[in-house]
Amino acid sequence: MLTLPPSKLPQVGTTIFTVMSRLAAECGAINLSQGFPDFDPPSRLLDLVTEKMRAGINQYAPMSGWPALLEAVAGKVRDLYGCVVDPQSAVTITSGATEALFCAVHAVVRPGDEVILLEPAYDSYQPAVELAGGRTVRVPLLRPGFGVDWDRVRTAVTARTRLLIVNSPHNPTGAVFAPSDLDALEDVLRDNDVLVLADEVYEHMVFDGRPHLSLLGRPALADRSFVVSSFGKTYHCTGWKVGYCVAPPALTGEFRKVHQFVQFAVAAPMQAAFAQFLVDCPGHAHALADFYQSKRDRFRDLLAATPLRAVPAAGTYFQLAEYSAVSRLPDVEFARWLTREIGVAAIPVSVFSTAPTEERVVRFCFAKNDATLDAAGARLSQLGVAGGLR
Ligand code: PMP
Ligand code: GLN
């Protein structure tokens, strides 16, 4: 009888995104849980991928990325954030942001190192740190508003701290950094060698006229950061799994040592297509904030006709909703009930935290056609009619 070794991730089950999308499919619910659009990428981008395949771009891409795409990313961060980087030594194309996050953690975190997370935290950070032998130190975001408690972050830094992971715009809360956050971050890092992993996958979804404040816009932060983004979010193609990491050459060198053995290289025709699309159609990314802001506002108006209370959201394609007027169930059970009985799937927010919470909040994804949002709103408006607390 074979004895298996103990699990390396004993606390980890199947991700909440898989669980809720599966339940939504089983129940025929409208799936506002896992974050993905229900509409297509720009048709020019689809044509370009086909053209690149037909043109014979079907074999391994270079390990670090398709050269023209490295150039396009360097051009983008220069134009948007004033950050001048060498495409050959500071940009790496990855298999989605997920791979970039994993490689960045494994490039620098050693057994016994501490990594500071701000919670609620996106679910892939903690397992990546644990697999690298590190230990997470979790600092809760402030209520209300989900701002960062920089004094607590400062206190959490020890001689063992290797990395601080930040995420703006923030999944699941929709909070975004203000200039004072970057000031505080610079201050926290002033007298130590702590590195930063900045998850900026929602960089083009910041609303109400605010700019996205990338760490790449601050030389003191860019000098010690891995900055990660995802083409899946920006170009409505989460299923293609293409993202990138920008980091100074010394960090990029270590990052690529991991990347070349996790993934080696990313789908070549997609990279060639993105390279051309980024240069030919920069307007797509620039228009994204307005596009998603109007969906956020539409969804908030729909929620206003239900007993759910929308929490202010300044970025991402997620909307938190507080449900205490409807149910006393904990959020994991409420999300299941909502999926089964009301026919709308959502993500319970407590799964992104380790600290126990009394909050009654679920996350909806509004990256959907207006007809989908309207249909979900109509179902959610039934919540009031049922009456009584569950
Ligand atoms: N970080 C955050 C905050 C995300 O929300 C996601 C995906 N939704 C990712 C990383 C992973 O991105 P990708 O699908 O490009 O791997
Ligand atoms: N990041 C997406 C979300 O927050 C899901 C990605 C995944 O399913 N791994 O919904």
17 lines ligand 2 (CB under 6 A): yes
pLDDT of residue 386: 53
Is pLDDT at 387 greater than 60 in this prediction? no
* CB atoms inside a 10 Å sphere around CB 250: 12
pLDDT of residue 358: 86
Q: For 365-380, write each residue's pLDDT tens digit.
A: 999 999 999 999 999 9
Q: For 46-92, write each residue's pLDDT tens digit.
A: 999 999 999 999 999 999 999 999 999 999 999 999 999 999 999 99
- Ligand 1 atom, smallest distance to 101 CA: 10
- Ligand 1 atom, smallest distance to 170 CA: 3
What is the whole-number distance in angstroms between the Cα of residue 1 and the centre of ligand 1? 40
Q: Identify the band that residue 385 occupies on the pLDDT scale cut at 50, 70 and 90.
A: low
What is the whole-number distance in angstroms between the Cα of residue 172 and the centre of ligand 2? 10
Q: Identify the band that residue 357 occupies on the pLDDT scale cut at 50, 70 and 90.
A: confident
What is the whole-number distance in angstroms between the Cα of residue 35 and the centre of ligand 2? 5
- Ligand 1 atom, smallest distance to 243 CA: 15
What is the whole-number distance in angstroms between the Cα of residue 200 and the centre of ligand 2? 14
Q: For 8-17, write each residue's pLDDT tens digit.
A: 999 999 999 9
Nearest protein CA to atom 5 of ligand 1, as residue: 171
Nearest protein CA to atom 3 of ligand 2, as residue: 35
Q: Identify the band that residue 19 occupies on the pLDDT scale cut at 50, 70 and 90.
A: very high
96 lines ligand 2 (CB under 6 A): no
Average pLDDT, the chain: 97
| Region 276-305 average pLDDT | 97
Contact 285, 212 (CB under 8 A): no
Nearest protein CA to atom 8 of ligand 1, as residue: 35
What is the whole-number distance in angstroms between the Cα of residue 97 and the centre of ligand 1? 5
What predicted TM-score, i.e. pTM, was given to this entire model? 0.98
Report how far residue 172's alpha carbon sits from residue 174's, in angstroms, rounded to the nearest whole number: 6
Hey, what are 142's tokens?
């402030």
Contact 277, 72 (CB under 8 A): no
Burial class (CB in 10 A: 0-12, 13-18, 19+), 186: middle
Is pLDDT at 278 greater than 60 in this prediction? yes
Report how far residue 117's alpha carbon sits from residue 153's, in angstroms, rounded to the nearest whole number: 9
| Mutational pocket test of ligand 1: of 93, 103, 118, 201, the residue with most ligand atoms within 8 Å of the beta carbon | 201
- Ligand 1 atom, smallest distance to 36 CA: 8
Report how far residue 140's alpha carbon sits from residue 118's, in angstroms, rounded to the nearest whole number: 6
What is the whole-number distance in angstroms between the Cα of residue 237 and the centre of ligand 1? 12
- Ligand 2 atom, smallest distance to 238 CA: 6
Nearest protein CA to atom 7 of ligand 2, as residue: 17
34 lines ligand 2 (CB under 6 A): yes
Nearest protein CA to atom 12 of ligand 1, as residue: 97
pLDDT of residue 356: 87
How far from chain centre, in Å, is Cα 237? 14
| Mutational pocket test of ligand 2: of 19, 21, 23, 36, the residue with most ligand atoms within 8 Å of the beta carbon | 36
What is the whole-number distance in angstroms between the Cα of residue 151 and the centre of ligand 1? 28
**What percentage of the chain has pLDDT greater than the value 70?**
98
| Mutational pocket test of ligand 1: of 20, 141, 233, 245, the residue with most ligand atoms within 8 Å of the beta carbon | 233
Q: For 130-160, write each residue's pLDDT tens digit.
A: 999 999 999 999 999 999 999 999 999 999 9
Report which of 243, 173, 186, 248 is spatially closest to residue 213, judged by C-alpha positions: 186
35 lines ligand 2 (CB under 6 A): yes
Q: Characterize 76-105 residue by residue with b for buried, 16 or more Cβ atoms within 10 angstroms of its Cβ, and e for exposed.
A: bbeebbebebebebbbbbbbbbbbbbbbbb
Burial class (CB in 10 A: 0-12, 13-18, 19+), 276: middle
pLDDT of residue 2: 95
97 lines ligand 1 (CB under 6 A): yes
| Region 297-321 average pLDDT | 98
**What percentage of the chain has pLDDT greater than the value 90?**
97
15 lines ligand 2 (CB under 6 A): yes
